[in-house]
């Protein structure tokens, strides 16, 4: 068992405990089975094969795709100090935040985000400005689903680091989703692409990997 596969299993356990199979309308066993090919691929990774494999440690996120789990109800399954996450946006509004070109998830019901960050180095930057900086730094912005995964798996980051915009997703009217602390709980909201907020970074990762990219 590799460090990455062990971490992916722990994150899968958390998703099951939080009721993600119910959101997907399948059994816990079926939900776990859908993640098995990716976790098995991680178990058989050659850690000396390339730079990516060497980076695959515990610093990953296991992401269920929107086709498996819709994002509308997921913020309520996050919590900090027993304070449940919330949003004031209606479900239809949340569903409108779609991955932008180039940031679509890999094929399969689950995939990995490698080296996620809350984007502290891009804090208090307008989303459109931060997007250019992220591109120039050869990083990739996180999507709505990936930001929800941070709030689910690492809610303490919202306290220890910062809230964050998710520039990999955008609605038709140009807004980008954001997650930050409000009323002592995680909150899902949205900002305009030319707005600045001192408490919001712009989250990014180094890469996304689906099961087919480990073969």
pLDDT computed for residue 197 by the predictor: 95
Closest Cα partner for 14 from 72, 75, 58, 77? Answer: 77
pLDDT surpasses 90 at 15: yes
Total-model pTM: 0.93
CA distance linking residue 179 with residue 163, whole number of Å: 6
Give yes or no for a contact between 102 and 151, defined as CB atoms under 8 angstroms apart: no
- Using DSSP's 3-state secondary structure scheme, residue 61 falls into strand
* C-alpha pair distances (Å), 79 with each of 38, 75, 167, 191: 27, 8, 23, 22
Give yes or no for a contact between 56 and 22, defined as CB atoms under 8 angstroms apart: no
pLDDT computed for residue 192 by the predictor: 97
pLDDT surpasses 80 at 77: yes
Q: Give residue for tokens 């809350």.
A: 118
Bigger pLDDT: 89 vs 48 = 89
Q: Model confidence over 159-204: pLDDT tens digits?
A: 999 999 999 999 999 999 999 999 999 999 999 999 999 999 999 9
pLDDT surpasses 50 at 79: yes
Percent of the chain at pLDDT > 70 equals: 93
């Amino acid at each position: 068992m590799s460090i990455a596969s062990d971490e992916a299993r722990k994150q899968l356990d958390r998703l099951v405990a939080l009721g993600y199979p119910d959101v997907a309308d399948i059994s816990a066993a079926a939900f776990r089975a859908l993640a098995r090919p990716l976790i098995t691929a991680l178990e058989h990774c050659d850690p000396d094969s390339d730079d990516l494999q060497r980076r695959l440690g515990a610093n990953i996120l296991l992401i269920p795709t929107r086709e498996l789990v819709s994002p509308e109800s997921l913020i309520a399954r996050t919590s900090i100090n027993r304070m449940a996450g919330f949003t004031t946006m209606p479900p239809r509004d949340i569903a409108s935040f779609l991955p932008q070109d180039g940031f679509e998830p890999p094929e399969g019901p689950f995939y990995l985000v490698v080296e996620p960050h809350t984007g502290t180095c891009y804090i208090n930057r307008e989303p459109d400005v931060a997007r250019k900086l992220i591109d120039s730094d050869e990083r990739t912005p996180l999507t709505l689903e990936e930001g929800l995964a941070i709030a689910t798996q690492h809610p303490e980051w919202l306290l220890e680091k910062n809230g964050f915009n998710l520039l990999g997703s955008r609605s038709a009217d140009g807004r980008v989703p954001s997650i930050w602390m409000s009323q002592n709980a995680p909150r899902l909201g949205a900002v305009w692409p030319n707005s600045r907020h001192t408490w919001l970074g712009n989250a990014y990762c180094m890469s996304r990997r689906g099961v087919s990219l480990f073969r």
